[in-house]
């Protein structure tokens, strides 16, 4: 039950696009299309932004998109806005249990 | 309004026990998988446990197996996490979560549990 691998930090300027990667194994990310992404602002509870690799829950802007190739999932945020600055976590099903990534701090310059 | 409210955290000595509760409202509690996620100070999220809608199946992260027990009372719309044999590394904010399909769609505000002598 090892954590998924995410970059510690990414950054971008307003209006730009950034992509956050999430690397696992064939036992989690690569084995199931059950990857979700969560946004967490300081001191707040997380909020789901993407589920089932690429689906957006109601209310999430279409600037947020998800994809997967092999054992790596990705979250892309286009048209960066100041309010996107937060920590982002991927999460994958791993057969009877779930595993999170270590988290990525997104800084909007 | 869909809401999850945790309670029962606090300061516990190593080796001690705690029962964290989660009161659910605004949805039909008995229809949903529920779970617990924790976050150690300054660290990332860690999935802890899930329980089936009828309580018949429970799943845990390896590090808490044998020490933590997830349970629910559908009549009281409540979720519980009994935590025993606490260790310093169990110090965290514990979030109650509601699952919808394969996503944690609703989160509580979190409750702090601190293990220290």
B62 closest CB neighbour out of A1, A57, A93: A1
Best residue in A4, A98, A101 for a mutation probing chain B (most B CBs within 10 Å)? A98
Helix (H, G, I), strand (E, B) or coil at A26: coil
Q: What is the pLDDT of residue A96?
A: 86
Phi, psi (deg, nearest 5) at residue B102: -110, 30
* Distance (Å, whole) CA B61 – CA A65: 28
* Residue ranges of chain B with per-residue pLDDT less than 70: none
Best residue in B42, B58, B102, B112 for a mutation probing chain A (most A CBs within 10 Å)? B102
A45 closest CB neighbour out of B44, B63, B108: B108
Residue B44 touches partner A, C-beta closer than 8 Å: yes
Write down how long chain B is.
Answer: 117
In chain B, residues with a C-beta closer than 8 Å to the C-beta of A103 are 44-45
In angstroms, the Cα distances linking B116 to A66, B43, B46, B92, B113 are: 40, 18, 20, 12, 10
| Digitized pLDDT (tens) for each residue of chain A, 109 residues in all | 689 999 999 999 999 999 999 999 999 999 999 999 999 999 999 999 999 999 999 999 999 999 999 999 999 999 999 999 999 999 999 998 999 999 999 999 9
In chain A, residues with a C-beta closer than 8 Å to the C-beta of B58 are none
């Amino acid at each position: 039950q090892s954590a998924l691998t995410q970059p510690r930090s990414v950054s971008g300027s307003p209006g730009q696009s950034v992509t956050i990667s999430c690397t696992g194994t064939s036992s989690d990310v690569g084995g199931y299309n059950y990857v979700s992404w969560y946004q967490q602002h300081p001191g707040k509870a997380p909020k789901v932004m993407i589920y089932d690799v690429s689906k957006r829950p109601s209310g999430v802007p279409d600037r947020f998109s998800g994809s997967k190739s092999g054992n790596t999932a990705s979250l892309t945020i286009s048209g960066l806005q100041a309010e996107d600055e937060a920590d982002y976590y991927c999460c994958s099903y791993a057969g009877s249990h779930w595993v999170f990534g270590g988290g990525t701090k997104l800084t909007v310059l | 309004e869909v809401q999850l409210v945790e309670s029962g955290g606090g300061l516990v000595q190593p080796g001690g026990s705690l029962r964290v509760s989660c009161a659910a409202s605004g949805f039909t509690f008995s229809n949903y998988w529920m779970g617990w996620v924790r976050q150690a100070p300054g660290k990332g999220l860690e999935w802890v446990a899930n329980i089936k809608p009828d309580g018949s199946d429970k799943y845990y992260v390896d590090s808490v197996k044998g020490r933590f027990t997830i349970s629910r009372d559908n009549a009281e719309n409540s979720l519980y996490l009994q935590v025993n044999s606490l260790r310093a590394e169990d110090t965290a904010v514990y979030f109650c979560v509601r699952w919808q399909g394969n996503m944690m769609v609703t989160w509580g505000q979190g409750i702090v549990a601190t293990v220290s002598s």
